[in-house]
Amino acid sequence: MKNKKDIFVAVDLGGSKLSVMAAEKDTECTLRILGVESILMPHESIQYGIIRKANVVVSNLKVLLEKIQKNIQQRQDTACEIKSCYIGIDGNTLRTELHTLQKTFSKKIVFNNEMLDDILRQTKLKLAEKGCFSTAKLPQDSDTGFFVYEVFPKSFSLDNIICENPLEKMCSSLKMNCVMARSNLSLFFGINAVTKELDKIRFVKSLAGISLGSAFLTDEEKKNGAVLIDFGAQCTTVIAYQKGVVCYLGNVPLGGDAITKDLMELTHADRTEAENIKRQKGDLFYDNREESVESSNGRIPVRKVVSVIRARQMEIVNFVEQHLEHAECSELLKRVVVITGGASKMKNLDVMLQKEKAWNVKHVALGDFVVSQTSNDYSRPENALLLSLLINASESCCGSIEREKKTKKEKRSGGSSILDKLTDMFTDPE
């Protein structure tokens, strides 16, 4: 970070809620939150992470960014403008696939990091071209083809010898097993439509799972093997690491909203009432079977409410397990499982996973990443993605309006005046 006044802005395109957060960051990557703004999205504008109504998302995002900008100006007591923001990409079509790359060199070479980056870049382009050969001609709601977001190296063989770290080693042939993160074009087109409309702002895109894993899993956990699960409203995001590299990234198209809908059906209640019942009686190990709750469908035994919640929650968990089994890394669930996300607040979810699945579970301590003077509301699990994006952010998102006006004035006049230059020489930098 260049200076202590750098400000970072993050956007979470959640299915039911759109959120924007701004923060300053110290050298220890601890955040001082300057503001967070959210808005409930109209039905079906974003479905399972995929933007279906870009115009609705754009109009709401403009409002939130304007509010955040005012918050920043009030907290900083200075005129500034949001120039860029960090955005997490997630959706139910996002998944990883294994891809093997083989390369033979004309002579023995020393394999270095620059060569690795070039090979990954070329691989990404070739894979993208293979899946999206007619991207420009496809309609925006098409699910045909796919878009490759990232390619992660998983294992290497140099001259047919398995090598854990190939850098700075001699070889004449290379075999590399990669994990390819891709999605259907609907996810790509949805994000692209929003960022294209808001062309005055530069959007720094990153995969939500990668952002969460980078921020909340330690290097030791990644090396020894770990899984991070983000229990969201519409989707459950899963990322797994082994030997320090990504071995799986995927998405289960079920989340807390599915539990709410089940309770709405059981109680004949509206969404707000069903959410309240879920929060108050959603203890996955609730023992008072004689208690009941009042609803539009009469009095409902709590045991029935808990039974419905447990059934749906276990379905989500089983899907996560199946995804990891398919990726041949389910054994990582016995090592470290880190959970976060709004739906992870379900009472005793961690206890249930430990007792019934024998997973080694712990919650992300989001409060550890936010300075103590900040309201605890900012470190709620539903803000996990926003916080991870801000933690990983490296370039300031805001520019001074006064400085920009001065620069434009200098360009029109052919440069700064002599007085301005002398003043700058004897002014301490910020």
pLDDT digits (tens, 9 = 90+) for 33-65: 999 999 988 878 888 888 999 999 999 999 999
Question: Which CATH architecture is the domain 7-83+367-404 placed in?
Answer: 2-Layer Sandwich (3.30)
| pLDDT tens by residue, 308-318 | 999 999 999 99
Using the predicted structure, report yes or no on whether residue 144 has a pLDDT greater than 60: no
Q: Which three-class secondary structure state does DSSP give residue 81? A: strand
Query: What is this structure's pTM?
Result: 0.85
C-alpha to C-alpha distance for 245 and 154, rounded to whole angstroms: 6
At 9, give phi and psi (nearest 5°): -130, 135
Total Cβ atoms within 10 A of residue 64: 18
pLDDT of residue 399: 80
Structure tokens at 221: 């956990």
Question: Reduced to 3 DSSP states, what percent helix, strand and coil does the chain have, rounded to the nearest 5?
Answer: 40, 30, 25
In the chain, where the domains are located: 7-83+367-404, 95-185
**What's the average model confidence in pLDDT over 243-265?**
92
Contact predicate 85/37, CB 8 Å: no
C-alpha to C-alpha distance for 132 and 33, rounded to whole angstroms: 40
Contact predicate 178/156, CB 8 Å: no
Structure tokens at 290: 């004689």
Lowest mean per-residue pLDDT among 61-65, 239-243, 373-377, 412-416: 412-416
Residue 120's pLDDT band (boundaries 50, 70, 90)? confident
DSSP-derived letter for residue 363 is E
**What is the percentage of the chain residues whose pLDDT exceeds 70?**
86
- Max distance between CA atoms of the chain, in angstroms, equals 84
**Minimal CA–CA distance to 278: which of 231, 238, 318?**
231
Question: Rounded to the nearest 5 degrees, what angle is found at the Cα of 264, between the Cα atoms of 260 and 268?
Answer: 165
C-alpha to C-alpha distance for 176 and 148, rounded to whole angstroms: 17
Contact predicate 157/103, CB 8 Å: no
For the purposes of burial, counting CB atoms within 10 Å of the CB of 142, is it exposed (0-12), middle (13-18) or buried (19 or more)? middle
What dotted CATH number matches 95-185?
Answer: 3.30.1490.110
**What is the percentage of the chain residues whose pLDDT exceeds 90?**
50
Cβ partners under 8 Å of residue 349, min gap 6: 231, 284, 313, 339
Residue 99's DSSP bridge partners are: 178
